[in-house]
Amino acid sequence: MNLISISTAKRTKSVGIWLALATLLALLTGVFSVHPAHAAENCVPDSETACVEGIIRTSDKEPAAGVELSLNGPSGEATTLSGEDGRWSFPVNVPGSYEVTLNVETLPEGQFISQTDVRQIEVDLGKKGAALFPLTADESAAAEAGGEVVSTSKGSNQFSWPRFWQQFVSGIRMGLLIALASVGLSLVFGTTGISNFSQGEMVSFGGLLAATFMTLIGNLIVAGILAILAAALFGYFQDVLMWKPLRKRGLSLMQLMIVSIGLSIFMQFTFQFFYGGGVVSVGAPRPETVEFWGITLTTYSVFAMIVSIVAIGAVGYALMYTRFGRATRAISDNPPLAKASGINVDKVIRIVWIVGSGLAGLAGVFFALIFNGITWFTGGQMLLLFFAAVTLGGLGTAFGAFVGSMIIGLVVEMTNIWLPGDLKFATALFILILILLVRPQGLFGRKERIG
Amino acid sequence: MSKDPNYPYDRQKLRETLNQLEQVPGVSKPDSILTVDNIERRFGGLNAVDVNHLEVQRGAITALIGPNGAGKTTFFNLITGFDQPSNAPSLFGSGDAKWSFNGRDLGKTAAAKVARAGMVRTFQLTKALSRMTVLDNMLIGANNQPGENLFVGLIHPLWKQRENENIEKAKELLVRFKLDEKINDMAGDLSGGQKKLLEMARALMSDPAMIMLDEPMAGVNPALTQSLLGHIQNLRDEGTTVLFVEHDMHMVRHISDWVVVMAQGKLIAEGLPEDVMKSQAVVDAYLGAHHDRDLGDDAALTTGIMTSIANEAELEAGRNNS
Amino acid sequence: MDFLTTLLQVAISPTTIAFALAAIGLNIHFGYTGLMNMGQAGFMLVGGYGFGISVAQGLGFWPALLISMLATTLFAILLGIPTLKLRGDYLAIVTISAAEIFRMIGKMAMLQNVTGGPTGLPGREFRTAFTGLSPLPDGQTTILGLTYLNNGIDDWWTRLAGGFLVILFIFITWLLIRSPWGRVLKGIREDEDAVRSLGKSAYSYKMQALIIGGIMGGFGGIFLSLPGSLHPDAMGRPTTFNLWIIVLLGGAATVFGPVLGALIFFITRILIITAANAFIPDSMLGAQQTEQFAWLLIGLALIFLVVFRPQGILGDKKELSFNV
């Protein structure tokens, strides 16, 4: 970089942005501990090969290594052991029906097969066929070895009231988690106009960091708090080093949106680079479960729901009754007017970034905790749900974002009762599109005024 | 432009006709090109526009004046299809808003169709197409180019000739508006006043029967203002009815044939320029504007008021869509 | 000359061609009309499925192609109706969502018999309809050190037909953009209200642009799946983002920008990966991590492009197309 011309305003801004990215990189690399890359011998299907494969996990979702499996079918017989990541696979070169048998003797101690030890699988060349062997820690629930052959099929989607209520509560839990991330998204949109596509990665960031801090410290609460603080700090640096200079540079909103997409890609693959492509577990102790009215929840879930409600309530209170909240709403209404009436717009926006990122980090910690780990792509996957929630509620209104989140959360979990699991995100996005057709300004949004 | 037999080219005669009219809001005109009935627009609890009846005389330069925030621009938006009246007839419940232009009903007509019907508007904040040349800006104003259809556009010979004709016409107009030297410049590089001229020239490319100018003199230096006023009079003399918005009532006295005054969304006076300025209602409206709460006057708006307006608007939006 | 051959190989690979086709379409959306289509990969997938499934179900090449184009048109209309009257970011959110929905539906195990489910539709089920059209004699040919089958999997015919389409699409773009129709599009990009006030229905023009660019994207989807298989995950969000980089790199609102962008994008990618593999020991950067590293750079490239050179390589700063 040319030091002489640094005095010109434009160059200084460029330096700022370079610095921003450098710091970002440093921040990310500094914090992450490098995990070893996975060394599984994966079977890759091609025109000559088909794969029969699966992952074996213990009842607490940890990969089970060293389990012996044998294959019998048109291409002959074979035996293999599951790898460190619980993965096993048989490459075969004749299509047809195969039988996979799990040797129950080789299961980790205290683990039992919960359904069957023999599965039948159909594979075509160039394709994969998966056989699942769910395990349980409960001996009384174990299936008998050598039992009947079960062919692989999805669980049936039958309606029952207990299941309905279970999914309903899961929906509320999902809604609260989505709300944590969407409120930040909505506040940032309201105050700066940016549709921030990297909000999902803030969620992954929180969850992954919680895992790292957990291995370093070992105390779940401390690790969680540190992860949230780190996320908030990251939000602060994002604004100081990146978003603010870019705003001052006069980039259009569309440019900023694309910048956020770039940041999102960058962060995703930084995560993948350091944490690998698999599920990163927080390594928290196994939770107790609580049962009420026929609904089963882990203590983590209950804890997460309570904390989420408190956090969202606090943000809502702050928005309604504090000076900062009023300033935030004034900026959302009319930035020039807010500025003219003496509100420090930049400061408010900075706080919004910090709070928004912190909340997203919190959501990430809970995601990792409730769903037994988090991947580099968890946030990216959820991002569209956040957008759906925010759009549903009305772009830029925090309360709308909350209501939208709850609706989306319920939709995601409840449609699971009737529709195949592959579609649970699709329905939420479909609802988003429907809403835009009927009520484009969202449930709580204001119509735009032209002219 | 071909001569329209119904158009009152003789301005003296037109003025005499107008002289005989009774000077009350909503008075009926002998030859009305635009007739508006019961048009309302609410933002939250505020009635931005509430006009019972208005007729605009063909061939006249009609000035629509009023203090800031009187609802003039909103009224323009409603008439030209850029906004819908709150009482527009809809699927659920019937509204009674209705207006017609040149004998054609315009309620619920899209902005583009309003323009095609011959009523072209300009904007208060000029909308020059910045990253296109002045010539392209002009050509886009023409409404008779078949090449604007996707499939015709692919075949050059089908639109080449019309294009050449339009270029000639554009050049003539640009000469008239003294923009001919800028013909290949980007429109974004023009000065504010030049953009106003370009917008006006562009609107004329389609030979509109009526042109609606939203504050054409705003932000233009005094020297250019004089020439703008001249252009407006020329427009009239050549066969285009002019309706223009202005908030400075002294600016309009010399060129307008008829003045309509709005305040707080309502028509409060109508008449000849020299008479209407003296009317007590008008004087009150202008002086009162400095005391009363007023939608368009930013200085009077505090965040508190804004929030209350916002809340009401939300409720309103809810009502509209349920 | 080994290295140059590799570059040539990348430059004329069906993947590059497919991306160039889809990028030309995206350029019509974004470059000329200002539409933030964040789901161009969805259009590719719709076009690809439209063709692949039709052939797999027994239709001939031309009816299948027609169905593919109709499917992308329908997709564009469905997405356009709710969004084209709204602010730009709504279109972005809806297109990205619709593309994801479509990908998820394509991946559904329930539809295994139609779409091939999670494993995709193998190329052999629909390729023959395309190779059957080839005027080339059977056998293989070597040109400039590159040897491929004339007709078959990953063949010269695909490259030839693809190259022809790229040229055709560029020509169509050029014709459209210099026409009065294209002028209205640019006007809409600049200021929609102004164009409406001049008597053009912005909505209708945006819809037309969305359809045309979408159909071009659909062709991209067909070409992406011809050599291998039609896999829903090959046309997900990353594909869309790559297309954006390609368009921005080459220069939005320029006729040749998307093609240049596609060439540079894929050549740079192969350069990065080759260089990383050659100079960085495996212990530091495994093969998989090299891939991730390339992605990481892509993310950075997108940021820097948008911030420092939004007009791309061929673009004119005076005419760059970021609005709002």
Looking at A250-259, B4-13, B137-146, C191-200, which range is the least confident one? Answer: B4-13
- B218-242 residue pLDDT tens: 777 777 888 888 888 888 888 889 9
Beta strands at C121-122 and C229-230: parallel, antiparallel or unpaired:
antiparallel
Cross-chain residue pair A269–C293, CB shorter than 8 Å: yes
Closest Cβ opposite residue A451 in set B83, B303, B310: B83
Cross-chain residue pair C179–B136, CB shorter than 8 Å: no
Interface test with A, best of B130, B306, B320, B322 (most A CBs within 10 A): B306
Q: In the predicted model, what is the mean pLDDT of residues C288-304?
A: 81
Looking at A83-87, B4-8, C32-36, C69-73, which range is the least confident one? Answer: B4-8
Chain B closest-CA separation from residue C235 CA (Å): 29
Looking at A10-14, A204-208, A394-398, A436-440, which range is the least confident one? Answer: A10-14
Question: At residue C230, what are phi and psi to the nearest 5 degrees?
Answer: -90, 100
Note the pLDDT of residue B118.
87
Note the pLDDT of residue A20.
52
Note the pLDDT of residue C171.
95
Identity of the highest mean pLDDT range in A228-232, A288-292, B31-35: A228-232
Interface test with C, best of B126, B129, B137 (most C CBs within 10 A): B129
Largest CA distance in chain B: 63
DSSP class of C125: G
Question: At residue B261, what are phi and psi to the nearest 5 degrees?
Answer: -115, 130
The residues in B 56-85 lying below 8 A from C, measured between CB atoms, are 80-82
Identity of the highest mean pLDDT range in A33-42, A44-53, B114-123: B114-123
Handedness of CA A306, A307, A313, A314 (dihedral sign): positive
Q: Is B148 on the interface with A (CB under 8 A)?
A: no
Q: Is the pLDDT of residue A225 over 60?
A: yes
Q: Is the pLDDT of residue C217 over 90?
A: yes
Q: Which residues of B touch C186 (CB under 8 A)?
A: 129, 131-132, 136
**Strand locations in A103-239, DSSP E?**
112-113, 118-123, 128-130, 135-136, 150-151
Looking at B19-33, C45-59, C162-176, which range is the least confident one? Answer: B19-33
To the nearest whole number, what is the mean pLDDT of chain B? 80
Identity of the highest mean pLDDT range in A30-44, B69-83, C276-290: B69-83
Looking at A105-114, B30-39, B80-89, B255-264, which range is the least confident one? Answer: A105-114
pLDDT band at residue B300 using 50, 70 and 90 as cut-offs: very low
More confident residue, B301 or C215: C215
Q: In the predicted model, what is the mean pLDDT of residues A289-306?
A: 79
Burial class (CB in 10 A: 0-12, 13-18, 19+), B236: buried
Cross-chain residue pair A450–B82, CB shorter than 8 Å: yes
Q: How far apart are CA A63 and CA A83, in angstroms?
A: 9
Identity of the highest mean pLDDT range in A81-85, A366-370, B7-11, B105-109: A366-370
Q: Is the pLDDT of residue A118 over 90?
A: no
Q: In the predicted model, what is the mean pLDDT of residues A199-210?
A: 91
Q: Is the pLDDT of residue B82 over 70?
A: yes
Record the pTM: 0.78
Q: Can you state the percent helix, strand and coil of chain C, rounding each to 5? A: 75, 5, 25
**Considering only CA atoms, which of C256, C265, C242 is closest in space to residue C7?**
C265
Note the pLDDT of residue B293.
40
- C78-109 residue pLDDT tens: 889 888 877 777 788 888 888 988 888 888 77
Closest Cβ opposite residue B73 in set A337, A444, A451: A451
To the nearest whole number, what is the mean pLDDT of chain A? 76
Note the pLDDT of residue A90.
82
Looking at A25-39, A157-171, B96-110, C121-135, which range is the least confident one? Answer: A25-39
Cross-chain residue pair C194–B127, CB shorter than 8 Å: yes
Chain C closest-CA separation from residue A222 CA (Å): 31
The long-range contacts involving C143-146, CB below 8 angstroms and separated by at least 24 positions, are C144/C5, C144/C8, C145/C1, C145/C5, C145/C8, C146/C5, C146/C8, C146/C9, C146/C12
DSSP class of A240: I
Q: In the predicted model, what is the mean pLDDT of residues A172-179?
A: 90
Closest Cβ opposite residue B112 in set C182, C201, C212: C201
User: Residue A29 contacts by C-beta under 8 Å, 6 or more apart in sequence?
Assistant: A270, A274
Q: In the predicted model, what is the mean pLDDT of residues C203-218?
A: 94
With a pLDDT cut of 70, the percent of chain A lying above it is 78
Note the pLDDT of residue C69.
95
With a pLDDT cut of 90, the percent of chain B lying above it is 6
Q: Is the pLDDT of residue C279 over 90?
A: no
Q: Which residues of A touch B320 (CB under 8 A)?
A: 447
A31, A224, A359, A362, B92 from A211: Cα distances, Å: 12, 9, 17, 13, 56
Produce one character per residue of A176-201: b if its CB has 16 or more CB atoms within 10 Å, e if not: bbbbbbbbbbbbbbbbbbbbbbbbbb
Identity of the highest mean pLDDT range in A142-146, A168-172, A202-206: A202-206
- SS3 (DSSP) at C38: coil
Note the pLDDT of residue A446.
59
One-character DSSP codes across A383-401? HHHHHHHHHHH-TT-HHHH
The residue assigned the tokens 């091939």 is C116
pLDDT band at residue C216 using 50, 70 and 90 as cut-offs: very high
Q: Which residues of C touch A440 (CB under 8 A)?
A: 82, 85-86, 90
Note the pLDDT of residue C73.
96
- A236-249 residue pLDDT tens: 998 888 888 888 88
ipTM more than 0.90? Answer: no
Note the pLDDT of residue B3.
62
Q: Is the pLDDT of residue A6 over 70?
A: no
Q: How far from the centroid of its chain's Cα atoms is residue C78's Cα?
A: 20
Q: In the predicted model, what is the mean pLDDT of residues A269-291?
A: 78
Q: Is B196 on the interface with C (CB under 8 A)?
A: no
Closest Cβ opposite residue B111 in set C196, C212, C320: C196
Q: How far apart are CA B208 and CA B117, in angstroms?
A: 8
Q: How far from the centroid of its chain's Cα atoms is residue B120's Cα?
A: 7
The residues in B 136-155 lying below 8 A from C, measured between CB atoms, are 136, 139-141, 143, 145, 147-150, 152-154
To the nearest whole number, what is the mean pLDDT of chain C? 86
Neighbours of chain C (3+ CB pairs under 8 A): A, B
Q: Is the pLDDT of residue B204 over 60?
A: yes
Q: Is the pLDDT of residue A57 over 50?
A: yes
Q: In the predicted model, what is the mean pLDDT of residues B1-25?
A: 76
Interface test with A, best of C154, C292, C297 (most A CBs within 10 A): C292
With a pLDDT cut of 70, the percent of chain C lying above it is 95
Q: Is the pLDDT of residue A333 over 80?
A: no
More confident residue, A288 or A392: A392
Interface test with C, best of B131, B185, B198 (most C CBs within 10 A): B131
Amino acid at C191: D
Q: How far apart are CA C221 and CA C52, in angstroms?
A: 10
Q: Is the pLDDT of residue C201 over 70?
A: yes
More confident residue, C143 or A306: A306
Chain B closest-CA separation from residue C28 CA (Å): 13
Q: How many CB atoms lie within 10 A of CB B101?
A: 22
DSSP class of A107: S
